[in-house]
Amino acid sequence: MPARPVILTVDDDPGVSRAVARDLRREYGEHHRIVRAESGPSALDALKEIALRGEQVAVILADQRMPRMSGVEFLEQAMDLFPRARRVLLTAYADTEAAITAINVVDLDHYLLKPWDPPEEKLYPVVDSLLAAWRDTPDRPSAPVRIVGHRWSSRSYELRDLVARNQLSYDFLRADEPEGARLLEAAGADPDQLPVVITEDGTALIQPTDAQVVESAGLATTASEAVYDLVVVGGGPGGLGASVYGGSEGLRTVLVESRATGGQAGTSSRIENYLGFPNGVSGDQLTTRARLQAEKFGTEVLTTRTVTSLEPRGRARVITFDDGSEITAHSVVLATGVSYRMLDCPGLEEHTGQGVFYGAAATEAASCAAQDVYIVGGANSAGQAAMNFSRHASRVIMLVRGPSLTASMSHYLIAQIEANPLIEVRTCTEVVGAAGTEHLEKLTLRDRNSGAEETVEASWLFVFIGAAPRTDWLDGVVARDGRGFVLTGPDLPGGPNGRRPAGWEMERDPFHLETSVPGVFAVGDVRAESVKRVASAVGEGAMAVSLVHRWLENR
């Protein structure tokens, strides 16, 4: 029997909380499980448990005026766990400001005034319509995969990061603890065969590949067709933008992503400057919604598949995957973004995933609780991470090579960092060494002015030192600049025909986002001279689709 979908209500007044739950139970108790909580944090704990059990939440009703966490703040975090649950804010009087904030921040579905008497007139019609809407687009039943591994193993970390970034719920069990050891034995695996992943239906995957793990949770990894109108390579904001527009405009579209949709933006704890979200939006939220939107319009999304080559064959564009399989398309959008640059100093490489991380590594935030966290970098991504880690860590130390943050970071973030007593900024400082046995234990820091070196106890280092495109696989196929960014439109080196690159066979100039291969476009961070922003990547993705139409019409 599948579990009944949950209706959750949270109100800090125990009397009201019981009354709301009673009203809900009377009308919906037969087909739904009614869960009630008396604070935002306890409601979040309840939601996490529900997610771990793989159950679904249909509707959440939250009181706005709660002491530790407001209704809007709670709903915002609840959305990360159950993005499709319908959201209702309860207020005791007409609190228009709270309602407007809630509409903007959590995409509120309804706003209800308490008390509602009789519920038949004021409460049930609202909940009925929300349940009907939810039934049309429920959350994918989350498969609470269990990962058994060594606490400090890089591969265990990679798998946790993979499932978390694909919005799948998981439980991590250490192999040296009783529950982990029990599962390992049940799976018939030896402690030297870690990590082991136990899927929702109890299948044990021993040292699985990324694809095996996401497939077990119901995500697609292989294309259903051999030929598409449009292949989008890369599932960050640019690729998702192209996928939403490609699908919505009737193109047979497939999106291919090597790890998890969202790209860099998916790792951001809070994107503050994306249009339409005055209080910011987490990368997770934005990604989940964009992916749903793309799928709603019929775009196929393949996860954990890396494209390794692109070959024009006549007017067809052939894409090859890392396993050698191919798909053919009439057009291609390259949206492969950029990846973090690696910090090069003795001891760091062997601790990657064991205390040293590139990017925010959100899955690790809780492990850093009450410990010092070191962050390398002085740009916005480092600043956002510092703000985020300061919620968990005892202290966050930012190591910045330059003399100040002003040249590299937005003003609003500098102000937030300066006002945060838990963040210390050490300028003119670089990491020159790392050491530890199983996990990072020490860092050696050098003062760039005096040359003085200091060794500090450090278990956590997060590195944000800029990024580079990974486009080697396009070498000799599309024109790139000296740093590997893909050249498009007016930035292409002019061939004998002025604005036309060498070998260009069309009787027209390349379109604005078109590469040196007709019908192949590049958008977002991977494109030379692009603005490295979520909004511009999304915009270019949308624009590329209109150019795809022009290419398809006049091939």
Contact segment (CB under 6 A) with ligand FAD among 202-210, 389-397, 488-496, 533-541 equals 533-541
Binding span for ligand FAD by CB under 6 A among 31-39, 67-75, 309-317, 335-343: 335-343
Candidates 268-276, 349-357, 440-448, 498-506; binding stretch for ligand FAD (CB under 6 A): 268-276
d(CA 430, CA 122): 61
Instruction: By CB under 6 A, tell whether 317 contacts ligand FAD.
Output: no
List strands edge to edge, sheet with 110-113: 33-37, 6-10, 57-63, 86-91, 110-113
Among the listed residues 56, 264, 429, 444, the single contact to ligand FAD using CB under 6 A: 264
Residue among 235, 347, 501, 539 that touches ligand FAD (CB under 6 A): 235
- ∠ CA 428-432-435 to the nearest 5 degrees? 135
Q: Is 337 in the site for ligand FAD (CB under 6 A)?
A: yes
Provide CB contacts within 8 A for 456, sequence distance 6+.
374, 442, 443, 445
283, 359 contact by CB (below 8 A): no
Tell me the C-alpha distance between 493 and 74, whole Å.
52
Q: Select 337 or 519, whichever has its Cβ closest to ligand FAD.
A: 337
Using DSSP bridges, classify how beta strands 57-63 and 6-10 pair: parallel, antiparallel or unpaired. parallel
Comparing CA positions, the residue from 198, 337, 201 lying closest to residue 260 is: 337
465 forms part of the interface with ligand FAD (CB under 6 A): no
Q: Which is nearer to ligand FAD, 148 or 301 (CB)?
A: 301
Site string for ligand FAD, 503-532 (x = CB under 6 A): ---------------------xxx-----x
Q: Which is nearer to ligand FAD, 186 or 468 (CB)?
A: 468
Shortest Cβ distance from residue 203 to ligand FAD (Å)?
A: 27
- Taking the C-alpha atoms of residue 544 and residue 430, their distance in angstroms, rounded to an integer, is 41
- The nearest distance, CB 490 to ligand FAD, in angstroms, is 19
Q: Does 257 bind ligand FAD (CB under 6 A)?
A: yes
Q: What is the DSSP letter of 480?
A: B
**Which pair of structure tokens corresponds to residue 43?**
């409601």
Residues 6 or more apart in contact with residue 38 via CB below 8 angstroms = 10, 11, 12, 13, 14, 17
Q: With CB under 6 A as the contact rule, which of the stretches 57-65, 93-101, 237-245, 342-350 interacts with ligand FAD?
A: 237-245
| Residue 169 or 258 with smaller CB distance to ligand FAD | 258
What is the Cα 404 distance to its own chain's centre? 30
CB-based burial label for 178 (10 Å; 0-12, 13-18, 19+): exposed
The residue sitting closest to ligand FAD, measured at its beta carbon, is: 337
Is residue 239 a contact residue for ligand FAD (CB under 6 A)? yes
CB of 468 to ligand FAD, least distance (A): 11
Residue of 166, 267, 303, 354 interacting with ligand FAD (CB under 6 A): 267
Q: Is 469 among the residues that bind ligand FAD (CB under 6 A)?
A: no
Cα gap 49→34, rounded to integer Å: 14
**Comparison of 144 and 353: residue with beta carbon closer to ligand FAD:** 353
Residue 256 sits in the site that holds ligand FAD (CB under 6 A): yes
CB of 124 to ligand FAD, least distance (A): 41
Which one of residues 259, 291, 330, 446 is an interface residue with ligand FAD (CB under 6 A)? 259
Q: Encoding tokens for residue 69?
A: 């966490």
Q: Is the dihedral of CA 12, 17, 20, 21 positive or negative?
A: positive
Tokens 């210390």 found at: 424
Is residue 273 a contact residue for ligand FAD (CB under 6 A)?
A: yes
Q: Which of 26, 29, 95, 30 is nearest to 62 (CA)?
A: 95
Taking the complex as a whole, how short is the minimal distance between the CB of residue 543 and ligand FAD, in angstroms? 13
Contact 69, 40 (CB under 8 A): yes
Residues 277 and 105 sit within 8 Å (Cβ to Cβ): yes
In sequence order, which ranges of 82-148 are alpha helices (DSSP H)?
96-106, 119-122, 124-136
Q: Is 537 in the site for ligand FAD (CB under 6 A)?
A: yes
**Token pair for 526:** 């991977």
Applying CB under 6 A, does 237 fall inside the site for ligand FAD? yes
Q: Contacts with ligand FAD in 357-396 (CB under 6 A)?
A: 360, 380-381, 384
Q: Tell me how far, at minimum, the Cβ of 162 lies from ligand FAD, in Å.
A: 11
| Separation of alpha carbons 550 and 555, rounded Å | 8
| 387 half-sphere exposure, CB direction, 13 A CA radius | 19
Nearer to ligand FAD, 243 or 444 (CB): 243
Does residue 306 touch ligand FAD according to CB under 6 A?
yes
Beta-carbon neighbour count of residue 194 at 10 Å? Answer: 20
Among 338, 365, 397, 409, binds ligand FAD (CB under 6 A): 338
Q: How many residues bind ligand FAD (CB under 6 A)?
A: 38
Residues 341-360 that bind ligand FAD (CB under 6 A): 360
**Shortest distance, position 290 Cβ to ligand FAD, whole Å:** 10
Q: Phi/psi of residue 499, each to 5°?
A: -90, 15
**Residues of this chain that bind ligand FAD (CB under 6 A):** 233-239, 256-259, 263-265, 267-268, 271-273, 306-307, 335-338, 360, 380-381, 384, 470, 524-526, 532-535, 537
